[in-house]
Amino acid sequence: MSVKLNDNYVKQFITDEEIGEYRDRVIDADRKLRTGTGEGSDFLGWMTASCNYDRDEYDRIKKAAEKIRSSCDVFVVIGIGGSYLGARAVIEFLKSPRYNQIKDGSPEIYFSGCDMSASAMNELLSLCKGKDVCVNVISKSGVTTEPSVAFRVFRELLEKKYGREGAAERIFVTTDRARGILKPLADREGYERFVVPDNMGGRYSVLSAVGLLPIAVAGIDIDELMSGADDARKALSLNDLGKNDSYRYAVIRNILLSKGKNVEILVGYEPYLQMFNEWWKQLFGESEGKDNKGIYPSSVIFSTDLHSLGQYIQDGQRLMFETVINIEHEDDDIIIPDDPENCDGLNFLSGKSLCEVNRTAMRATVLAHVDGGVPNIVIDVADRSARSVGYLIYFFWMTCAMSGYLLGVNPFNQPGVEAYKKNMLALLGKPGYEELAASLSEKLK
């Protein structure tokens, strides 16, 4: 198993009896998930995304990735929320947050359309100057304003540079099978098109074309990623709290919430986990944060944040628990050199591996935080391989689904995201929003 739950550091906060009390509810939620009879059951495609997918499209994804890799210097991925976070998280996890500086023969990859920042857009446009560019616009609805604006800018850039037909060879569209504006546009212009499956919400879509195409362009083995997720699908199919780590983790989260632990902090000890943290926050934030319920998902990278948020976690309000991602084996290591003069007093570390020191920092911190009243859940991940990352993604999906059902929410919708969108479109003058625009303008006076 690539991923294992270690709940030793929550034992002083919750008992096995408390976990056992959830057994019937877990069985019920598991039945709802497996029979598709729970809330949001139209969006359960992620459960079999690793084995039940369109093989022809999967082959096209690999071919398109090769075409992109051989025909551009810069690959721009346009999308927001679930339409970009998964791909970026996996690329940074398996390659590096500095991928663009250290990539070997692959195009640079930039993400756009996840903000309305003119400076970010200008910066990216200048990075594209004099370079060959390909674009993948990803939007299930095809109407989300941020990526739509970015796509308009890049479509214009590509059409000016390569002509309309040349641009069509460089634009790849990932969108709904039938709905939205992107599909007819892609069909009219002849852009290669990939499908966001009907039964998959954005944050559960990284193992569809949404994530797989950019991940494959980065040179990552998507077969391995899918195999890892499929290992997890098989391993996490039992409704037994002793054997299903996702379900056990989901129960522990809900018990901790009932004891006033309203904040969960995902902890990584590697900078390459930063974007994975962001993906995870979206997954749990959008899935559970509704109906005035939910654990607030937060994240840190240690040691960096031990010297900022570490103080609060150790000593501030006791409202949080931590979930620590422990990468058990790292290929990259470095031995700390000896200094015969020991002028920095560090010779007690001479000859030690930096990975071992990092692991010790983790153990020390877990113990300190538990002593400070912060329950710690440790997720042991075998290594930094595509297979393990695929497993981890599925593990969190399954945890999130179970946890949401135990909490009593629909973990597959995101009604709250609409509120800002409506206001923004009204204030920007979109036809049909005149009444709302008038009332908002009054409030802004």
The residues annotated with a catalytic role in the active site are 286, 307, 421
CA distance 426 to 437: 5
Give just the sign of the alpha carbon dihedral 391, 282, 92, 212. Answer: positive
Angle at 118 between CA 117 and CA 120, to 5 degrees: 65
**Number of neighbouring beta carbons within 10 Å of residue 445:** 4
| Residue with the CB atom nearest ligand PA5 in the bound state | 202
Q: Closer to ligand PA5 at the Cβ: 2 or 144?
A: 144
CA distance 196 to 54: 11
CB of 151 to ligand PA5, least distance (A): 10
Q: Closer to ligand PA5 at the Cβ: 144 or 274?
A: 144
CB of 200 to ligand PA5, least distance (A): 9
Q: Closer to ligand PA5 at the Cβ: 205 or 244?
A: 205
Q: Which long-range contacts (CB under 8 A, 24 or more apart) does 309-316 make?
A: 310/365, 313/265, 313/369, 313/372, 313/374, 314/368, 314/369, 314/372, 314/374, 315/372
CB of 147 to ligand PA5, least distance (A): 6
- Packing angle of the helix pair 85-94, 386-407 (nearest 10 deg): 140
Q: Closer to ligand PA5 at the Cβ: 72 or 85?
A: 85
**Residue closest to 205 by CA, chosen among 426, 414, 348:** 414
CB of 218 to ligand PA5, least distance (A): 20
CA distance 185 to 268: 41
Q: Closer to ligand PA5 at the Cβ: 5 or 209?
A: 209
Residue with tokens 């153990």: 363
Residue ranges binding ligand PA5 (CB under 6 A): 80-83, 139-141, 144, 147, 201-203, 286, 414, 417
CB of 206 to ligand PA5, least distance (A): 10
Instruction: Give the distance from CA 288 to its chain's centroid.
Output: 15
